[in-house]
Amino acid sequence: MNEVILCYALVLGLAFPLGIYMARALDDERESRIDRLFRPIEAVIYRLAGVNETRVMRWPAYALAVVVLHLLLIALAWGVFMAQGVLPLNPDGIAGMSWDTALHTAVSFATNTNQQHYSGQAQLSYLSQTFAIVTLQFITPATGLAVLLAIARVLLKKRAAPVAEATGQSVGVGNYYRDLVRTLVRILLPLAMVVALLLTWQGMPSTWQGAQTVAPLDQSVATTQQIPLGPVASMVAIKQLGTNGGGWYGPNSTVPLENPTPLSNLIETVSLLLIPVALLVAMAVFTGRRRLMAGIGGVMLAFSLISTSVLIASERLPNAAFEGLAAVGSANLEGKELRFGPEMSALWASWTTQTSNGSVNAMHDSLNPMGGMVTLMDMFINVTFGGIGVGLIGYLLYLMLAAFIGSLMIGRAPELMGRALETREMRRISLAILAQPLVILGLTALTVAVPGLVGTSNPTFHGLSQVLYEYTSAFANNGSGFEGLGDGTPWWNLTCVVALLIGRFVPMLVPLAVAAWLAGKRMAPAGRGTLAMDSGAFVGLTAGVIVIINLLGFLPVLVLGPIAEQLTLGY
C-alpha cells in the first residue's frame, strides 16, 4: 500500500515541474531560453522533411495533415512488417508478417494503441521494432498533444488569440508540423532519453546484438535456451511515457528483461501516468485557466483513486478457482508477477487502462471479475487523465455536453466559455458520442453472434468479457487485452483496425473542429450570469455526465460479462 501512495505522490510531485516546463517549451507566443536551445535542431528537421512550419492552418488543413501523415506512416510500417525478413537489422532471421496482422500492427501503433496480435520478440526484427514501432510510439503521443495544443490555443486560452471579427467562420488553429516537432524535440525525446538511461542502469537490455544462447540451470527440458535481446530500454521508455504500451516482449513488462527490478517497476509505473498528469499543469499554465484545470484534475484524480482502490480490493481477494486448494493464498495471484505482488499489479492495471497505455505487469485476463470490470470501465471512460493529449481532448467532449445541459439549467442558450453551442456543433459532438457504443457493442455482438469468429479461451461470461475487452481496448486506443483470445485472424485484425481508426480519429478531430468553430464565434464575457466552469456544481455535473453516459451505455454488457461472472462465482 505504501508503494501505491508513493507512486501517486511521485507522479503528482513530478507533474508540476514537468508541466511548467512543458507549458514554457510549447508556448510559441513567448520567447524563452528553451527556444534558443532547440530551435536549431527543429530547423534541421523542418528542412529535411520539407514542411513549412510557419503556415497557420485552419482546422480542416490541420486535421488533413494529421490524417495524411498517419496514412503515410501506416503504409510505411505495413510494408516494413511484411518485408522485414529481407530487410537489414534482423540478426535472428525473423520472417515477414502476414498481411492482415501487419496491417493491424501498423494501424495499432499509428493510433497510439499498441494492441498486439503477435509476440514482439519472436515476430518483429530489430528494424521493425526500433524504426517502425518506436517511430510511431513517438509520433502518436506527440500528435495527441499537438491537437490538444491547437484546441487550447483557440478555445481554452484565457486571452484567446485575437480573432479579428467574430465571423462564425473557423479560425487558424496552428501548424501541425510545428506542434508535432516541438513536442517531439522538446518533451518526448529528452524525457524518454532520461527514462531509457534509468532503465538501462537497472539492467534492461540495450544492445544491437542478436539473441543470446545460454545453458539453463535445469537442463531436464532443454540444454540450450535462446534469450532474445535488443535495444529494449529505449523502446520501453517511450512505451511507458507515451501512453503506448506495446512491449518488446510478448508478455510486456511482466518479463524480467522488460522490467528487471522493483525500482524499474516503480520507474515504469510512474512513467505511465506522468505526462498525462503533467499535461494538466501544462494546460493550466498555457491557458491561464488554473481553476478549470484544477477542477478537471480533481475529477480525474477522484476517478483514478476509485478505480485503483476497487482494483486493489478486488485483487486482494483470493481467486475463486483456487477454492479448496491448499495453494489458496490471501490474494489473487493468478497471472501476477510475484516480484510485484497484487497491489503494484493492481495499481499498474488501473493506471494503464486509465491512460490508454495498455502495457501490463500482470495478466488482465486473470484479474478477479470486479477488477476486470474496473479496467473495462476505465477504458470506457478513457478520460481519467487519458492518453497524451487525447485524454484532455476527450474530457473536453464531455465538458461540451455538460456545458450544453448546464447552460440550459441556468437559463441561457447553450454555450461553452461564452461561445454558442449550436446544432452544427451538437451534431459533431453526437457523432463522437455515438461512435463508442456503435463500434464496441456492435462489433462485440457481431463477433459473438457469428459462429466461428470469437476464438475465446473461455466459455460464457468470461468469454464475452474477452471479446468486449478486445474491442474496448481497440476503440480506447489502449492496447491491453484479456489475453488468451485467438485474435490473430483476419476477422479480428480487420475489425480491430476499424475500431482503432474510429476510436483514434473521431474523438480527437471532432473536438478540434468544434473548437475551431466555437473560436470563430462571439464570446460572451464571463460573469455572474454565465456558466462558471470552475464552480463545484459544474465540476460535479461534468463528472455526473461522464458516469451516466458510460454507465447507461455499458451497464447491460457489464452485467452479462464481469458482473454475471462475479455472481456465479458466488462471492
The single residue listed with the C-alpha cell 481519467 is 384
Contact letters (x/-) for another protein, 438-467, by CB under 8 A? x--xx-xxx-xx----------xx-xx---
Beta strands in 55-153 (DSSP E): 57-58
Q: How many helices (H) and strands (E) does the chain have?
A: 20, 6
CB of 407 to another protein, least distance (A): 7
Work out whether 321 is an interface residue with another protein (CB under 8 A).
Answer: no
CB of 377 to another protein, least distance (A): 15
Looking at 149-157, 244-252, 360-368, 561-569, which segment touches another protein (CB under 8 A)?
561-569
Looking at 31-39, 135-143, 246-254, 424-432, which segment touches another protein (CB under 8 A)?
424-432
Contacts of another protein in 352-411 (CB under 8 A): 401, 404-411
Q: Which C-beta is closer to another protein: that of 184 or that of 558?
A: 558
Residue 165: which residues within 8 A CB-CB, separation 6 or more?
A: none
d(CA 456, CA 464): 8
Q: Which C-beta is closer to another protein: that of 341 or that of 418?
A: 418
CB of 442 to another protein, least distance (A): 6
CB of 120 to another protein, least distance (A): 31
d(CA 234, CA 240): 10
Member of 71, 222, 263, 434 binding another protein (CB under 8 A): 434
CB of 564 to another protein, least distance (A): 6
Rg, C-alpha atoms of the chain: 23
CB of 417 to another protein, least distance (A): 11
Residues touching another protein, count (CB under 8 A): 69
CA atoms within 13 A on the CB side of 552: 8
State whether the Cα torsion 136-141-142-148 is positive or negative: positive
Residue 449's CB is within 10 A of a number of other CB atoms, namely 9
Say if CB 257 and CB 369 are below 8 A apart: no
d(CA 197, CA 70): 29
CB of 317 to another protein, least distance (A): 17
The single residue listed with the C-alpha cell 476497487 is 310
Say if CB 362 and CB 345 are below 8 A apart: yes
Contacts of another protein in 496-555 (CB under 8 A): 522-525, 527-532, 535-538, 540-541, 544, 548, 551-555
How is residue 189 written as a grid cell? 525525446
Residue 2's CB is within 10 A of a number of other CB atoms, namely 7
For the chain, report the end-to-end CA distance as a whole number of angstroms. Answer: 24
Member of 262, 437, 457, 498 binding another protein (CB under 8 A): 437
Contact letters (x/-) for another protein, 164-193, by CB under 8 A? --x---------------------------
Work out whether 122 is an interface residue with another protein (CB under 8 A).
Answer: no
Say if CB 414 and CB 404 are below 8 A apart: yes
CB of 413 to another protein, least distance (A): 5
Contacts with another protein, residue ranges (CB under 8 A):
166, 401, 404-415, 418, 421-423, 425-427, 430, 433-434, 437-438, 441-442, 444-446, 448-449, 460-461, 463-464, 522-525, 527-532, 535-538, 540-541, 544, 548, 551-557, 559-560, 563-564, 567-568, 570
